[in-house]
Structure formats: structure tokens, C-alpha cells
Structure 1
Amino acid sequence: MGSVDASVSDIVSSYSIPAESKRLLTEALLENPKIAKDVPKEAHEFASRITFKGTDLPSIPINWRFAESAASLKAFEACILYALVKRKYNVELTGAEINTDHAQLFFMSTLIWQIDPDTDHTITLTKNTEKMYEMFPNYDFHKMSSSLYKLCVTNIYQTKDDRYFHLHGSMNPKPSLDSIGLPGDRPDLKTWEEAMQPFIEKLATIDSAEMQHLASDVYKQAGVIAETVDSFRATEHGRANAHVGLFEIHPAPNPSQKPSWWPSTPQTSAVRPLAGLKVIDLTRVIAAPAVTRGLAELGASVMRVTSPNLVDFSSLHLDLSWGKWQCSLDLKTEEGKEKLRNLIKDADVVVQGYRPGVLDKYGFGQQGIIDLVKDRERGIISVQENCYGWNGPWDYRSGWQQISDACVGISAGFGKAMGLKNDEPVTPVFPNSDYMTGIAGVTGILCALMRRAEEGGSFKVDIALNYYNQWLANSVQEYPGEVWQDVWKRNGKQVFRCYHNMNYLIPRYMEMIAKNGKIFQPSFFEDRQSKAVGAVVRTIKPIIKFDNDQVRPGYNVGTRGNGKDAARWPDDLMTEMVQ
């Protein structure tokens, strides 16, 4: 028995998150045949110049290797950016550093900001919601977070046929409640256990296939039957998307559109490598907004376009709106559509993240955006993000991070790691697949910009939560059993169930990590001023640290709420343009 214990101890003591992140950069990204075809040759040169440092063993008790995923993807972004800087500016970047502890904060950045922080630099892991809503307009028209009962609409429940279904309230829980015949609210239910019970009882009377039909086809709500990694691969949809790495790039040739970069500004240089790049952001929630925030961090000018009549997840804006102007347009009016057309005609990148097909009816689908600039000498990069992927029979469905996690088998894997039986899934706590899809989108866009500069024409870029989760499941995978057992034991070996949703899990995990982890270091945070909201916000520093500040990630524009700015590009793309 002693030799077995010794071998387990050896496996744990020899494990290294930084070393594994470095390996994954090469094997799972740069040399991955599903991804390598889109990687510029210069990107490989930079991999050996990236230094990984950080704590060897994981701090977060989740079986999937989120830390390695975040660190290797950020390093991959640095490699792709190196290729762009070398081609556009003829500048040779000497190196970069990725701290793997710091990188883990990236996928929880919406949870750990602090408004007007104390001068003692104490890291506060709870946000001041009242103060936030004083600065950011509240677009929660349906009060989705107003009761525990409404929060329990978004949860995983066992169905009549002994499968599991992830019900989702999206930004209006009423259609999902109507789909299962439950009332619009139950404010009398005061505890999580009380609030979950009506859903546990109701879903137990509905077969999973019927629930899928109701959610996807009748009530048009997000929702999915939970799969394992293997069962998802075997589905028609899984097979249709199995060839995709992190993104797909499709050329849209146009002989009149010549090879070109974007127009330069006085600030355009390797230091702010995307300065002058105009990006239209037609997105909500996390994944697609994380793409445009990532472009803004590298210097791009981003105009986010929303509607004054459209529900939005306002609590996310403080984190995801850095670097973005915000205008409101009503696309049901010709005036609103014309203003958006004018913005797009001067842009180089458009990112959309609404339910597939929604923007097409207004003329702003992926092909419609390309057609808007067909007579322009410079092509455009038209980007679409969804949950399920853009091939196969489920591409039309709406979805969220939790839906993708359940669909691809990430949630089932988490439940199994905690010892649950019969493939019982548990959402793995953090919006990891959202934020990682953001990095994937940035890398895909950088690759498309380089192709436009070399080939001319326009390009379509497809990204999806499932594309990232497929890569996580197939290429990154779970911790070795001994390493997982070690981090789980260090955090009390708590077991959670399918009906413990993110709102239930997050505060419990933040407490565990603060107590037992090593990732909340003051040096990973910075204070940023936003003139638009009149506050200083302590939040996470950019993850990639380039040698000698050859590239300086950061934001030209402070965070702000919807509709703060005019629907026009300012003369000075580095200004705090306010309507």
C-alpha cells in the first residue's frame, strides 16, 4: 500500500500547470491539424519565446484543466499577434510571459471587480451591485434575477426517461416557465431547496426529447439534453462539427477588393497593434462581447450597437464594455438601419452574437454585412458566434455557456469526477467556455485580417461555444486522477448535484478559492478610471505581458453602459466620445 501512495504522491508532485500549458500551446494549438491550417507560419517562431510561470498544482476544484486552457490560449493569441506585428509593422517581438495563476482570473473577471476600491488594495470578491446599477442602466426588463424561483429556471433537472435536461431562462424566464406549465413567479419560496422543488417534480414528468422540442422549436428558448463527451461525439451534430478547431475562416472572394490592412491613425504601431481598426459589436452576454473586448485590448476602436428596447444582461457591462463606445439604434426603423449601415461601411470587422438568423431579417446577417461593402476596395471580416456551431442540425438553436457545457459533455464529466452516477451532470461553475471562446474569436479575426492583407477580398469567421468545448474535451482534457483528487481534497471534497446552478455554486467556489487557492494576488489587478461612469474600477490586468512593453495591452475608452454615445465614429479614435 505504501508504494501505491508513493506513486500517487510522485504524480502529484511532478505535475506542473506552467509546463502543461507550454506543451498544450504546441501540441493542442500550433500543431493541432484542426487549427494549424489557419495558423500563419510566423506564429510558430514565437512559441519558444513565451515563458510560463505560476503555481504548479491547481487551486480550483474543477476536474477540467481550465488553468491550462486559459494560459495556452492566451499564449496562442500572443503567437498570432506576433505574426501580425511582424507582417504589418516589420517589428520582431522578443518575448512574452504568461502567469498561469493570473490567467485563471480571466474566466472569472465578471465576478471580481471592485468599484472605487479601498486604498489598501484589498481584493474584494463580492461586487457592489447597488453602486453598479447607479452607473449602468438596468435592462433586465423581465426581472430574471428577482427571485430564487426565477433563478432556478436556469438549471439541470432529471427527466422522466432518466436523462438530464438543462432548462434555461435566458433573459426572460417566462417562455421556459410556460413550456413546462409552471407559474411566472413564486416569491413565497425562500430557500434554494424550496425554489428548485417545483422544477424537479415537473421535469420528472416530461421525457427529454419532448422537453428539447418544447424548448428549441415551440418556445424558442435555450435548453439541451445533457450528453457525455462520447455521446455528443456520436450525435449527428457532433459529427458535423468534429472537423472544426477553435474557429472556421471562409473566404468571400471579390476581385475589386484588393489586399489591404486597415487605415492607419497616428497611434497605429506595434505598441497598440490594432489602433485604427474599426469594429462593430452586435453582441450580448459574454462570449461575443469578450471577442470585441479582446480586440479593444489590443488597440481596436469598438462601437457596440444595442437597442433601447432590447433586454440585456446589464450586470456584465462593467467587465465587458472596456474599450467600447456604446450607441443605441432601433433596427425596426429605417433611420436605425441606415445609421448601422453607415457605421459598417467604415468598419473592418463586424462581430454578431445574437440567435442565429435574428439579424438577417434586418439585412445584417453575415453575408448581408459582406454585401454592404462589396463596392469598397477594402474587404471586411464578418464574424458570427453561436452556441452549437455552424454545421449540423442544431445550428439554429439559441444557447448559453451552461448549455454548451451540458451539450458537449463538460458538465457530465464534472459530475462524474465528483462521484455522481448515471452521467449526472453539474455545470462547472464559471463562464469558462464564454471567455475562452472570446480568445478563440480574437485569434480567428487576427488570422483573417492577415489573410485579407495578403489575398484581398472579405472573410467570414465562425466561432462557437461548442467549438471551444470540443477542443477542451478532446485536446486539453481533464486533470490526471491523482491531481484532481489532490485539489478536490484540499478544498473539502464537496459534492454538488445537477440542480445546483451557477448562482448557487459561484459564491461557494469563490469562498473555497479565496481560502485555499493562490490566484487572488494583488499584483494581478489594476485600477482603471472610466470617465463615462465617473468611477475607478479595480479589475484584472491583461494576461499577456510582452517583453519591454513592445506591445501594451489596455483600453483607449473606459467602460460604460448602453446608449452612452452617438452612433458615429469620432474624428479621434482614442477619445472618450460621449453623446
Structure 2
Amino acid sequence: MTNHKTIEGVYGPGSYTDVTFIPVPQDCERVLKWVASTTPGFAKEPTLLKEVVFHGDDFPHIPGPLKPGVLSAVISAVAGITAREICKLKGFDTGPVSIDTDQAALFPASASLMSIGGKTGFEMAEDGSLWKLGTDLDKAALTKNPMHYRSWAFYQTKEVLPTYVYVMGSLDPASYLKAFGLDSEAPVKSNDEAYALLIPRLLPFSYRLTHDSYNLQKTVFSSYSAPEFELKCLELGVCGQTGHSPAAWRETLMGKRLAAHPLLNYKRVIEVPDLPPVPFPTTSDKRALAGIKIIEFSRVIAAPALGAVLTSFGAEVIKINSPYLPDPNALQITLTAGKSTQSADLNNPQDVERVRKLVEEADVVVQGFRKGAIERKGFGLNDVLAMANKRGKGIVYLDLSCYGPDGTYAERPGYQQIADAASGASYLCGSAYGFPAGTSVLPSLPIADMVAGLTGACEVLMALRDRAVHGGSYHCNTVLTSVDTIQCEKEFGLYSPEIVKRTQEKYNFAPMTPDLHVEDLLVGVLKAWAKGGLLENQAHYQRFDDSPFGKDHVILAPLVHFEDKQADPVCFMRLK
């Protein structure tokens, strides 16, 4: 296809900005063709691609230079096309795929686009009712005090040229801060005070926040450079990542290794016996994955989002929860919709045997823990392939990671924010918001997490399609950093400063700065969208009269729509 016309360097090294603005629906059509051309295993029938309809506003809705709304819409279209192929294998055609690009822009925020009894998630958080819904799964990991909260933020290092690293206390901030000689119980009264206290000890800048601008003043140089900080994190086995420019990330060994893999990365496992094709079950439910059983080992956002997409396509998804690992409670309200959940201690032989029996009956296993963790519990790729070989029926196994399936960073822990820092996505946002070169600011929504859920769902759909036709078992790899790096590619393109400015003027988003937690940014975006009327279209939501969380439960509806509405992805809430 023709190279997309861009200008290099507008937002710093390795950035590619569109020469002319392309309305969002047309941009989705262009990017879909490019993704299709670079994805092994994608649909070969040309009409399937041509019959996708994107519709919505011409102008973007998300702040910053990245195009997450376009990416959400395009990957949803890939999922829809593959589901259509599956339905053809089952004996009927769903008809063309339709994607609402305005709803796709909301998708990265969908974990927070919920309400119960007319009360939004943020209103429930403010009055305390959110934390009373079932078990306090996050065990107050971040909300315990301001020091915990500000253990997730960008801080500047001692390099002369501005360089930022993302400090991330994960879901155990107390241990993280202690490893750096910091008191997690320091007597600070606000998040801002905690940030100011962390600056001279961890990394070195202070700030003052005014009503109309955010100003940075360097005060004390830390003892850490960015490489020294990363080395410390490696020694401790904790999260931490330099905020690279896109060009700098591409030059790292890990960046080069990750670039060798496609965004949608699945393949048949050739080392196992040549197991026969597995036809899709015959059911009255016309959704593509009706009758398919999936086991999900996961927590937080990305892997649960993946399972949520698959259950909307009709799969039976069983989420395995650890009784000991923290998992943000609020996320369960949206990301477990339609699933059943089971608590299992994988150090307990009886629980292991119970989960093993579930896996033996499964078509798909999804796991979202760092490389090696699930293997040590007996449910790694080779363990599951052995079970599939014994039963004589192929299986699909998906690994979800931060950095990728191989390379020097493969075993490092990471979350969406780490991927944002590594890939250059945060660097681009800092530049677009007018900060000095080198300043990193998180993207305004958990884009890498949520879109990784979509990409993983596409891989599973393609692998199940191939299992039905060719037989065998399949291994999928979904990578948070890949979701960010594709948005930094020349063929994808970035919005120009003019478009960034016009989007800001349209919604008047609150200032976005290096200290802000992803939740701070998300709240600011949702408030601006609400004021601008973007959240009012009721067709974008799905409502349940009753759910395990309460009456009148509303979540964002699935993005894919077919001509045959009986095949549309939809969530059926499990009451128990």
C-alpha cells in the first residue's frame, strides 16, 4: 500500500505526524488495510475487508497526539471480520461488520464507564459504596494513603537533558518505597505533598501547580540516572522504566526484538502431535464463540478485558482469582461481566487439581502474569499442551505480557504505564502538551491495557478458526508495549499540533502532568466528555436490570455489530 504521508520529528525523535488531517472513519479504513497487510493469518477474502463500515464523528475525542480511538475501532473490526469467518464455518453469514468510531473512542475508558442504580463509579468511590461491593480485592493498595498513591508517577532523573522514569509501586507500594529508603507511612496530608516528598529522595524535581499552568523547577539532583534506576529495579525485581522517545526505544535491544513480532501474534505449535480439526459447537446461540470454554488466569485490566471481549462473543469464561493477590475492586464491575469466577490457591494441591480439571475441558487458556510465574504453578504452555495432547484435542494458549515473549526484558514485570514509558507514547504526550523535550506524561486513558484486550481476543478468534480448519494447538502472545508502539509507527501517524489544540478546545480537558496517576487523568477526561455530551448516546451502553453488584447495572456495550443482530457480541450477566 502507499506510504502514509507524515512529517518526522514534530514531537521529538522518531515521531511521525500526519501531513493532512483524515476524518476518523476514513482513517480507520486506511489503518485497517495496513494492519491487514501486516498480520499473518488475517482474512484472505477481500470482500470481508471491504464490507466493514466505520461511522462516527470526523474529529477525535481523546486528548493528545495518539490515535487510540482509531486503533480501538480497527482492532474491533479485525475481531468482527474473524468472527464472521467463524460463523461461516458454522454454516451462516453474519453480514457486514459495523463499528461506531465514537463508541470506540470510549472503549479505553470502559472499565470506568459504568453505573449501578443510576450512580456512576466515581460517585460510588466518593461516597464509599464502591468498596462495599463484595470483597475489597485491592486491599487498599493504592488508596491507603498519599504515599502509596504517588508511588505511581513519572519523576525526572539526574541527567542534564530532561529524562524521566516511571516509578511504579505496583500493588505493594509499601515494600517498593521501603526498598528505596522511603517511609510509606510518612505523615503527609495530600497526594501533592507526597509527590513533593518523593521528589528529592527518589528522583529530582519539584513543582508548583497553579490554576492555569504546570511549571517545573529543578531543585535537587538525585543519585539516580535513568539507567541506574532501571538497574535498581532489575535487582529488586520491581517495575520501573525510562520514558524513551520512540526513536530511543526502537534502538534498544528489546525494542528491536519486539519489532520482529507482529501486533497480532499467534502461531500453530508445530512441536506437538498433529491433532485433528475441532469443529465449532452447534448451538442455538448464533454468537461466534458460543459453546467455547475459556480459563482465564488474570488480574487488574488487560487479561480481564480480553476475557470480557471473548465472553461477549459467546464464550463461557471462568476467571481464576487468587485469594491472596490484590486486584482493584472497581474493575470487577465491568471486566467480569458475563464470566463466572472461582477462587483458587495454586499452592494448594486440592485447588490445583480442581483447576487442572477445568483446564482439561477448556478450548482456550489465557494467562496474564509475568513470564515464568504460571509455569511454576503447573499451568504454563507446555503443561497445558501436554493435557491437550493426552485428550487428543488441540487447545489455544495465550500469554499476555508487558514487553514481549522473548528478549532481554521478557521476564521484567510491567503494567500499562510501564509500556507507555518504554514505547515513547508518554514522551509524545509530554511533547504535545508543551513540556520541555524529554518530559513524559502518561496517555490520558489505559489504552495499552484495554486495546491489548482487543488484540488478544483477535488472536484467540483467529487461532480457534484455524483449529477448526487445520487442527493442532496454537500459541498466542499479546504485548502491552506493542499496542503502544504501533501507534508510534509512520504508517499509523500522529495528530498534528493543530488537531491536538482543537481537541483540547472542544472539550477543555484538565491539565495533564507527569505526577498524575492514570486514575487522575481518566477522571479528568470523563468529566470533560460528560460536559461535552459525548457520554449521552444510550446506544453505546448495555443495561442489566440486575447483577451481582446491584440493580440497574450499566456498562459500555461491545463495539462490533453485524447485519445479523442475532450474531452481535453481547454480555449476559451471571447473577451468581
Same fold (TM over 0.5): yes
1:460 aligned residue: 475
Among 225, 237, 258, the alignment partner of 2:276 is 258
Structure 1 counterpart SS, 2:122? coil
Structure 2 counterpart SS, 1:419? coil
Shift of 1:491: 4.0
Q: Is this contact kept in 1: 2:109–2:522, CA < 8 A? A: no
Inter-CA distance 515–45: structure 2 relative to 1 (3 Å threshold): same
Shift of 1:552: 2.4
Among 330, 336, 350, the alignment partner of 1:315 is 330
Residue identity matched to 1:490 = K
Which stretch shows the higher mean deviation, 501-510 or 485-494?
485-494
1:211 aligned residue: 229
Among 52, 55, 60, the alignment partner of 1:53 is 55
2:36 aligned residue: 30
Aligned residues: 534
1:569 aligned residue: none
2:165 aligned residue: 165
- 2-side partners of 1:373 and 1:469: how far apart? 33
- Alignment pair present for 1:289 and 2:304: yes
Structure 2 counterpart SS, 1:98? strand
1:75 aligned residue: 77
Structure 2 counterpart SS, 1:71? helix
- 1-side partners of 2:158 and 2:534: how far apart? 43
Q: Is this contact kept in 2: 1:59–1:519, CA < 8 A? A: no
Contiguous gaps of at least 5 residues in structure 2: 1-17, 205-221
Shift of 1:519: 4.8
Which stretch shows the higher mean deviation, 492-501 or 366-375?
492-501
Residue identity matched to 2:516 = H
Structure 2 counterpart SS, 1:52? strand
Shift of 1:492: 4.4
TM-score by length of 2: 0.88
1:541 aligned residue: 557
Residue identity matched to 1:542 = P
- 1-side partners of 2:91 and 2:258: how far apart? 37
Among 370, 373, 398, the alignment partner of 2:388 is 373
Contiguous gaps of at least 5 residues in structure 1: 1-10, 119-123, 559-575
Structure 2 counterpart SS, 1:375? helix
Q: Is this contact kept in 1: 2:70–2:101, CA < 8 A? A: yes
Deviations 1:431-477 (A, max 9, x none): 01111111100111111112212222211111110121121211433
Residue identity matched to 2:122 = T
1:244 aligned residue: 261
Residue identity matched to 1:126 = F
Which stretch shows the higher mean deviation, 280-289 or 68-77?
68-77
- Alignment pair present for 1:411 and 2:426: yes
Structure 1 counterpart SS, 2:309? helix
Residue identity matched to 1:208 = A
Deviations 1:268-309 (A, max 9, x none): 5xx222111000000111111111111100000011111222
2:218 aligned residue: none
- 1-side partners of 2:316 and 2:258: how far apart? 32
Q: Is this contact kept in 2: 1:221–1:398, CA < 8 A? A: yes
- 1-side partners of 2:19 and 2:407: how far apart? 41
- 2-side partners of 1:25 and 1:55: how far apart? 18
Q: Is this contact kept in 2: 1:165–1:224, CA < 8 A? A: yes
2:44 aligned residue: 41
Deviations 1:85-132 (A, max 9, x none): 11x2132232132111111111101112111127xxxxx573413333
2:219 aligned residue: none
Shift of 1:211: 1.5
- Alignment pair present for 1:441 and 2:456: yes
Deviations 1:334-357 (A, max 9, x none): 111111110000001000001211
Shift of 1:265: 5.4
- 2-side partners of 1:78 and 1:101: how far apart? 17
2:289 aligned residue: 274
Shift of 1:200: 1.4
Structure 2 counterpart SS, 1:110? coil
Among 515, 521, 534, the alignment partner of 2:537 is 521
- 2-side partners of 1:448 and 1:127: how far apart? 41
What are the equivalent positions in structure 2 for 1:463-474 lying under 5 Å apart? 463-474=478-489
Q: Is this contact kept in 2: 1:356–1:395, CA < 8 A? A: yes
- 1-side partners of 2:361 and 2:33: how far apart? 37
- 1-side partners of 2:409 and 2:156: how far apart? 22
2:12 aligned residue: none
Shift of 1:527: 1.3
- 2-side partners of 1:466 and 1:531: how far apart? 34
Residue identity matched to 1:259 = P
Q: Is this contact kept in 2: 1:222–1:397, CA < 8 A? A: yes
- 1-side partners of 2:148 and 2:522: how far apart? 17
Shift of 1:387: 0.4
Q: Is this contact kept in 2: 1:71–1:98, CA < 8 A? A: yes
1:335 aligned residue: 350
2:107 aligned residue: 106
Structure 1 counterpart SS, 2:111? helix
- Alignment pair present for 1:234 and 2:251: yes
Shift of 1:534: 4.2
Structure 1 counterpart SS, 2:567? coil
1:555 aligned residue: 571
- 2-side partners of 1:102 and 1:376: how far apart? 42
Structure 2 counterpart SS, 1:112? coil
1:63 aligned residue: 65
Residue identity matched to 2:26 = A
- 1-side partners of 2:524 and 2:227: how far apart? 33
Structure 1 counterpart SS, 2:451? helix
Q: Is this contact kept in 2: 1:229–1:473, CA < 8 A? A: yes
Structure 2 counterpart SS, 1:105? helix
Q: Is this contact kept in 2: 1:267–1:276, CA < 8 A? A: no
- 2-side partners of 1:550 and 1:332: how far apart? 43
TM-score by length of 1: 0.88
What are the equivalent positions in structure 2 for 1:353-392 lying under 5 Å apart? 353-392=368-407
Among 211, 232, 239, the alignment partner of 1:222 is 239
Which stretch shows the higher mean deviation, 18-27 or 229-238?
18-27
Shift of 1:13: 10
